[in-house]
């Protein structure tokens, strides 16, 4: 009788703990999602609903035309086009340069290899802002202010991707390299037809991170653009704040469509994202 | 001509050729600017004038006296402390909690908590601008429904910094949590099982076994958090508070930008940049020294 009672109490405590844990986790997740939710419902509210002083979770009648009005109020089409062009170009060029360098570090012996590798890794130690002014001056001297080049070229190499690709290349058996060379495969063809196809997971990680990083970059775009025709979507959206004044429903409609492409990309490729981060985490 | 060289030399040349684009890039956009910044920090220049005036250590001396910079440094430390709490301690607790949750639910949480990470800070700042808005904004309205005095988060010196912390914390939380979960997945189940057999319970197991084994990940996160406390916060500061009110939310990177691109004090801004570089350099060396001493690298 007593043991049964104890058993029941033990089970009750376990359930209570688990229930509490689920409650805390769900509450936490809800808090993380709430800003998104508030943005989307606000984007569909009418102008008089936006300033209500009591909580109104949903609009009475969804105002879909808010999206149309917001879209037409600023050159968002241009902003999107710029963001896509820049992010794609940066990602593509970076993959080419990083694969070449990573291939050299993984499969070749050359003069000054270790020194160069440390020199490259050292760039990770320098906060980007330290180079901000000279790089800006360089762009001015090149006459590149307000051009695609300025927003693309300075971001096309990063140690992070060289390092990640090198790690991956090194995990592919060296025998394969020797055998391919013996069979008369040129070194460049080996990279193109063997190494890169085998390194797909690492390449996907590098490309995803670069694409998102470029899409989200702010400070550089801010100082290197001075007309709307070159602005990207995050910078363009912040300029929209002063345009809309108190019409936060339009601002939230714009925020929603500004955010949508990256969130959709993430939801579609969530597996690659999560594995990619696991890759980077293994090296501390 | 090339075919006359030995195989070794040819390979060496090929290797150098392959790294040369990256090397050229780093030379132009990283190494050279670093030296350039150091040179500029000893000058007085407004970015447009054809001549710049050599002023010696004046810019560095001004740093010691300028109250705005002191505030910026102090705030940078404050940002770091807040963010360590929100995006290191909280993710550790969440990760611990998530190990007791059903696998399916865990996957759902992982995606949900990670989703803010991919959002641009510029766009996130605009979204949060509306959350923090005193009239009609989410927090403002909840505040009033609770019967509290209206609070303008972004324009009150007491809360502006906290508001920025909330935005950056909201964004970076999921990234660190994923790194911790990945680190946790790397710990062998045998070790955990052995400890359980020896009688380690939940709390003790975490404190004495799992956390020490996770320490490489935690160190990695710590360093990235410090750089977030200086770099990530720039965007919300620029979009939402402009460093104010009365420098309450400014930080060191915002000061670099403001001095150079708003007030055109290039020399002074460069001096701050060099100081940031030196601070990071010392922190990195310290981190390397510490991780050699403390961090346990388990054999995986």
Question: What is the C-alpha to C-alpha distance for residues B174 and B117, in angstroms, rounded to an integer?
Answer: 6
| Top-confidence range, A5-19, B82-96, B145-159 | B82-96
Q: Label residue A281 by pLDDT band (50, 70, 90).
A: low
The conformation of residue B120, written as its DSSP 8-state character, comes to -
- Residue A279, number of CB atoms within 10 A of its CB: 17
Residue A52 contacts B where some CB pair is shorter than 8 Å: yes
User: pLDDT tens, B244-269?
Assistant: 788 899 999 999 999 999 999 999 99
- The CATH architecture to which B46-120+161-294 belongs is Orthogonal Bundle (1.10)
Q: Which residues of A touch B40 (CB under 8 A)?
A: 133-134
Cα of A3 to nearest chain B Cα, Å: 23
Using the predicted structure, report yes or no on whether residue B4 has a pLDDT greater than 50.
Answer: yes
Task: Report how far Cα B281 is from the mean position of its chain's Cα atoms.
Answer: 15
- DSSP labels, B213-265: HHHHHHHHHHHHHHHHHHTTTHHHIIIIITT-STTSS--HHHHHHIIIIIS--
CA distance B91 to B102: 18
Asked if the Cβ–Cβ distance from A255 to B126 is below 8 Å, we say yes
Res B66 pLDDT > 90: no
Q: How far lies A187's CA from each of A73, A103, A105, in Å? A: 54, 10, 14
Cα gap B210→B212, rounded to integer Å: 6
Residue with tokens 């790690």: A167
pTM for this model (two decimals): 0.89
Q: What are the φ and ψ backbone dihedral angles of A65, each rounded to 5 degrees?
A: -70, -10
pLDDT digits (tens, 9 = 90+) for A157-177: 889 899 999 989 998 888 888
Best of B9, B12, B29 to mutate (most A CBs within 10 Å, chain A): B29
For B101, half-sphere exposure in the C-beta direction (CA atoms, 13 angstrom radius) is: 20
Q: Which CATH class, in words, describes the domain spanning A67-279?
A: mainly alpha
Q: Kindly tell me the burial class for residue A39, based on how many C-beta atoms sit within 10 Å of its own C-beta (0-12, 13-18, 19 or more).
A: buried
Give residue-wise pLDDT tens across range A181-222.
888 888 889 999 889 999 988 899 899 989 999 999 999 999
Residue B153, pLDDT score? 87
Query: Quick one: closest CA in B to A83, which residue?
Result: B120
pLDDT band at B2 (very low <50, low <70, confident <90, very high): low
Could you tell me which residue, B199 or A126, shows the higher pLDDT?
A: A126
Contact A181, B14 (CB under 8 A): no
Name the phi and psi angles at A108, rounded to 5.
-115, 155
**SS3 label, residue B44:** strand
Contact B23 A116 (CB under 8 A): yes
CB within 8 Å: B19 and A55: no
Helices within chain A (DSSP H only): 2-43, 47-50, 65-73, 76-107, 113-122, 132-142, 148-152, 159-170, 174-182, 187-190, 196-198, 200-216, 219-224, 233-244, 248-268, 270-282
CA distances from A261 to A83, A88, B36, B168 (A): 11, 14, 38, 21
pLDDT tens per residue across span A108-146 = 988 889 999 999 988 888 888 889 999 999 999 999 999
> Percentage of residues in chain A with pLDDT exceeding 70?
96
Confidence of residue A283 (pLDDT cuts 50, 70, 90): very low
One DSSP character per residue, B173-203 reads HHHHHHHHHHHHHHS-HHHHHHHHHTT--HH
Structure confidence by residue, pLDDT tens digits, A66-98? 999 999 999 999 999 999 999 999 999 999 999
Q: How many CA atoms lie within 13 A of B247 on its CB side?
A: 16
């Amino acid at each position: 009788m007593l043991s049964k009672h104890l058993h029941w109490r033990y089970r009750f405590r376990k359930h209570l703990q688990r229930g509490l844990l689920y409650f805390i986790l769900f509450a936490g997740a809800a808090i993380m999602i709430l800003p998104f939710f508030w943005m989307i419902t606000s984007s569909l509210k009418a102008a008089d609903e936006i300033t209500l002083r009591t909580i109104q979770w949903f609009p009475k009648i969804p105002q879909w035309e808010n999206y149309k009005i917001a879209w037409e109020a600023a050159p968002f089409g241009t902003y999107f086009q710029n963001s896509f062009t820049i992010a794609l170009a940066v990602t593509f060029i970076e993959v080419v340069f990083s694969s070449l360098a990573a291939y050299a570090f993984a499969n070749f012996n050359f003069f000054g290899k270790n020194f160069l590798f440390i020199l490259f890794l050292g760039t990770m130690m320098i906060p980007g802002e330290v180079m901000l002014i000279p790089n800006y001056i360089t762009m001015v001297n090149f006459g590149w202010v307000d051009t695609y080049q300025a927003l693309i070229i300075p971001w096309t190499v990063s140690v992070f991707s060289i390092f990640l690709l090198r790690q991956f290349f090194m995990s592919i058996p060296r025998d394969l390299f020797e055998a391919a060379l013996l069979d008369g495969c040129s070194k460049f063809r080996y990279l193109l037809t063997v190494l890169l196809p085998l390194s797909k997971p690492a390449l996907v990680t590098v490309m995803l991170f670069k694409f998102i990083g470029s899409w989200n970059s702010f400070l550089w775009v801010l100082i290197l653009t001075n007309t709307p025709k070159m602005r990207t979507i995050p910078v363009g959206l912040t300029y929209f704040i002063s345009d809309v004044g108190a019409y936060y429903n339009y601002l939230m409609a714009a925020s929603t469509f500004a955010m949508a492409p990256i969130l959709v990309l993430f939801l579609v490729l969530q597996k690659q994202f999560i594995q990619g981060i696991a890759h980077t985490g293994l090296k501390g | 001509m090339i075919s006359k060289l030995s195989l070794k030399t040819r390979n060496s040349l090929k290797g150098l050729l392959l790294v040369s684009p990256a090397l050229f890039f780093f030379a132009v956009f990283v190494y050279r600017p670093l030296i350039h910044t150091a040179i500029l920090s000893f000058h007085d220049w407004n970015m447009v004038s054809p001549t710049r005036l050599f002023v010696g250590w004046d810019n560095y001396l001004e740093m010691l006296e300028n109250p705005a910079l002191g505030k910026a440094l102090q705030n940078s430390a404050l940002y770091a402390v807040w963010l360590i709490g929100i995006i290191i301690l909280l993710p550790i607790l969440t990760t611990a909690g998530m190990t007791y949750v059903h696998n399916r639910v865990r996957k759902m949480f992982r995606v949900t908590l990670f989703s803010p990470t991919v959002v641009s800070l510029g766009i996130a700042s605009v979204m949060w601008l509306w959350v923090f808005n005193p009239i009609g904004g989410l927090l403002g309205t909840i505040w009033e429904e609770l019967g509290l005095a209206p609070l303008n988060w972004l324009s009150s010196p007491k809360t502006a910094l906290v508001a920025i912390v909330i935005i950056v914390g909201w964004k970076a939380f999921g990234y660190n949590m994923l790194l911790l979960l990945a680190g946790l997945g790397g710990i062998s189940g045998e070790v955990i099982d052995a400890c359980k057999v020896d009688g380690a319970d939940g709390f003790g197991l975490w404190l004495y076994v799992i956390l020490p084994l996770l320490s490489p990940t935690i160190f990695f996160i710590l360093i990235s958090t410090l750089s977030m406390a200086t770099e990530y916060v720039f965007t919300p500061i620029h979009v939402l508070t402009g460093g104010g009110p009365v420098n309450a939310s400014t930080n060191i990177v915002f000061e670099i930008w403001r001095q150079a691109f708003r007030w055109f004090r290039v020399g002074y801004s460069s001096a701050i940049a060099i100081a940031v570089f030196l601070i990071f350099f010392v922190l990195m060396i310290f981190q390397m020294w510490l991780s050699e001493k403390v961090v346990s690298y388990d054999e995986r």
